[in-house]
Amino acid sequence: MTEGLPRRVGHRITVEPSGRHVRAVRGGQVLAESDGALVLREPGCPNAYYIPAQDVRLDLLTPSDTHTHCPFKGGASYWSLPDAPDLVWSYPDPKPELAAIKEHLCFYEVEVS
């Protein structure tokens, strides 16, 4: 399932099943937990684990007004907690080369086992 996005020399993004158990916890509360996460690898960035939306406690998160754009992945939307603005993001309509991350969310900090 590895997909590459060779937009710039030396900048290749890959996405594949992580094969690991991934949890996002904040203040002792589990916000997401999944065995079906994808790992996105991008040069110059730490590995990012994209968790399927059905494994995320969206009822605990509030949509943010923040939106950003990545030339490689597309437009991102964010979610927050009262004490953690823009803690979570996703690409609702990612670039076709990275379609696998659609309907997945990514947290700044996750536990991987």
Domains of the chain and any CATH numbers: 14-112 (2.170.150.40)
Per-residue pLDDT of 33-90, as tens digits, reads: 999 999 999 988 999 999 999 999 999 999 999 999 999 999 999 999 999 999 999 9
pTM of the model: 0.89
Per-residue pLDDT of 19-34, as tens digits, reads: 999 999 999 999 999 9
- Distance, first Cα to last Cα, the chain: 21
What letter would DSSP give residue 84? Answer: E
Per-residue pLDDT of 77-97, as tens digits, reads: 999 999 999 999 999 999 999
